[in-house]
Structure 1
Amino acid sequence: MDQAQQAPGHRVRARGKQRSNPTPKAGRNLPAATAVGLAMLFAVLGGLLFLPLGFVLVTTTFAVFGVWEIFRALEVSGTRLPIVPVMVGTVGMPLAAYFGGLESLLFALLASSVAVLLWRTIESAAGSARSIFAGVFTLAWVPFFISFAILPLHAVGTATPVGLWPGGVIPPGAWQIATMLLLVVSNDTFGYLVGASFGKHPMAPKISPKKSWEGFAGSIGGAIAVGVLACLFLLDKPWWVGVVLAVGMVAAATTGDLAESMVKRELGIKDMSSILPGHGGVMDRLDSIVFASPAAFILFTAVSGA
């Protein structure tokens, strides 16, 4: 009898604990995630609009942390990443893109891949094939893709600035990168808000159960609104360009998110690390950007005459 009388009380307390849980349905601590996300966005945009080399260094730092997280995750699964040549390539590719442009970036990727191959020749043959594949894959996935976000800052025909923008004039390439970042943030923000509130139909339940078609629709709607405003007020482009950019960025960012989720599921981990409160690891934030960066570079090149 005493246990029966106490049971409802236990259920009430349990329900009370559930209601006080700060982590919402989509799995994030929203206040922490918002604070960290805004801090990262302001730091990146501040460097981009005022000190371009600072933006390059911040981007490189994120890439280095992302590669380190991949190294740790692969090591647990038994794959040894050739970390020295991969890290050298991770630092070199963004700088090559900024100071040398597309040709230098491609050469840096090739040189880094060859360095991975040569590095493995001086180590044991055991697991060399997996190690080489993992090294080249990581180089292409993180530093090469994210360096496309730096390519628009390379000044063709003139010296690429080391200090502030010459004359204090922010070039169109910087506004293009800012628009890409805003669209990626819009994709994450509106997708999260709509998905957490109305998401019922998962996009890829075996890869990312919390990503829903309702959230994807919210991402497209929010990104289109941001893209149209950015084209009218930042890029001096027709409004329809904003629609094209928004749809392309949402598609690329969602693909990047699902790709990283597939890698994490294959490795048997939930987050790449816990370095960013409310977000997980650095790669859990870069997953969208690394795919969106080359997509944005291609789209901006395609609509350059609009």
Structure 2
Amino acid sequence: MRNLLKRSLSGLIFVILFISAILYSKESYIILTVVFALIAIWEFHKILNFKSIASYIFFGAAAFLLLKRPDSYAVSIILVITLVSSSFLIYQLFSKKEISSKDDRSKMGLTIRYLVFSFCFLILIPFEKDQYNPYLILTILILIWINDSFAYLVGKNFGKRKLFESVSPKKTIEGFVGGLFFAILTGYLISHYIQQYSTLNWIVIAIIVSVIGTIGDLVESKFKRQAKIKDSGNIMLKDMEGF
């Protein structure tokens, strides 16, 4: 009960901070996202048993350069690297192979590909044609919240078949389908209020959020199981996983 109250309170604080930063200004959004990125890198270093400031320096430099030149070819190159790396992590997840990071060089590379580049793109999401659009990132957060909430509710009440028991025994196929369905429904409803993108675009975004979000949770769970860590983070980072 105490853990539930602790998680609920920290989650509420996180949501208030993040939404306030998004709506206040682009600078506050960038600053808060950078802070969360640094915390996430620190926590991931603990999972990997890796001590280095190089990841923090690399993240700062990469985020600064991408914000300065969001239309440069470097963005496309980093996107390709991230997609290839993510595909390999997914392959290791489903093939049940261990995600190897035995030396400092491999741990540094894994941190950059898995976290640093991901947070760089998170910073860039609300920027389109040099304009800051806070409602774009807010709607994506709503889709994530809807997917996670209904995946939990449907899974808890109707879940019988395990989705990936060896990595995350609590996730069920029914929960995944429930989260996906309500995320798509929410995407459809959003398209009627925010007409910057078509209904099909919002539905595709909802599917990506649901599927990739679930796979991302499973990959993270695999990292923690390999490190024999039950939870990554005490308060705030655990809530960041839902976003």
Same fold (TM over 0.5): yes
1:132 to 96, 105, 116: 105
Compared with structure 1, are the counterparts of its residues 153 and 240 closer, same or farther at alpha carbon in structure 2 (3 Å cutoff)?
closer
1:97 aligns with 2:66: yes
Residue 94 of structure 2 corresponds to none
Q: Could you state the TM-score of these two structures normalised by the residue count of structure 1?
A: 0.64
1:246 to 195, 206, 211: 206
2:218 to 239, 244, 258: 258
- The one-letter amino acid paired with 2:116 is P
**2: CA distance, partners of 1:35 / 1:226:** 26
- Map 1:59-208 → 2, pairs under 5 A: 59-75=33-49, 80-81=50-51, 83-101=52-70, 103=72, 106=75, 130-154=103-127, 156=129, 171=132, 173-208=133-168
1:45 aligns with 2:19: yes
1:215 aligns with 2:189: no
1:175, 1:235 within 8 Å by CA — same for their partners in 2?
no
2:145, 2:242 within 8 Å by CA — same for their partners in 1?
no
Q: Could you state the TM-score of these two structures normalised by the residue count of structure 2?
A: 0.79
1:98, 1:151 within 8 Å by CA — same for their partners in 2?
yes
CA offset at residue 227 of structure 1? 1.3
Structure 1, unpaired ranges of 5+: 1-21, 110-127, 161-170, 277-281, 290-306
Q: Deviations over 1:86-144 (max 9, x none)?
A: 111223333333332153865997xxxxxxxxxxxxxxxxxx97211111110121121
- Map 1:217-296 → 2, pairs under 5 A: 217-276=177-236, 282=237, 284-287=238-241, 289=243
Identity score, percent? 25
**2: CA distance, partners of 1:231 / 1:93:** 33
Say what the alpha-carbon RMSD is for the aligned residues: 2.7
Q: Deviations over 1:251-306 (max 9, x none)?
A: 11001100100111111111112133xxxxx1x444465xxxxxxxxxxxxxxxxx
**1: CA distance, partners of 2:10 / 2:16:** 10
**1: CA distance, partners of 2:25 / 2:10:** 21
The number of residue pairs the alignment matches comes to 221
Higher CA-based Rg: 1
Structure 2, unpaired ranges of 5+: 79-100
Compared with structure 1, are the counterparts of its residues 133 and 153 closer, same or farther at alpha carbon in structure 2 (3 Å cutoff)?
same
The DSSP-based 3-state class of the residue aligned with 1:269 is coil
2:126, 2:136 within 8 Å by CA — same for their partners in 1?
no
**2: CA distance, partners of 1:140 / 1:245:** 22
- The one-letter amino acid paired with 2:41 is V
**2: CA distance, partners of 1:35 / 1:176:** 26
Q: Deviations over 1:228-263 (max 9, x none)?
A: 222221344333333222111101100110010011
**1: CA distance, partners of 2:242 / 2:72:** 24
Residue 5 of structure 1 corresponds to none
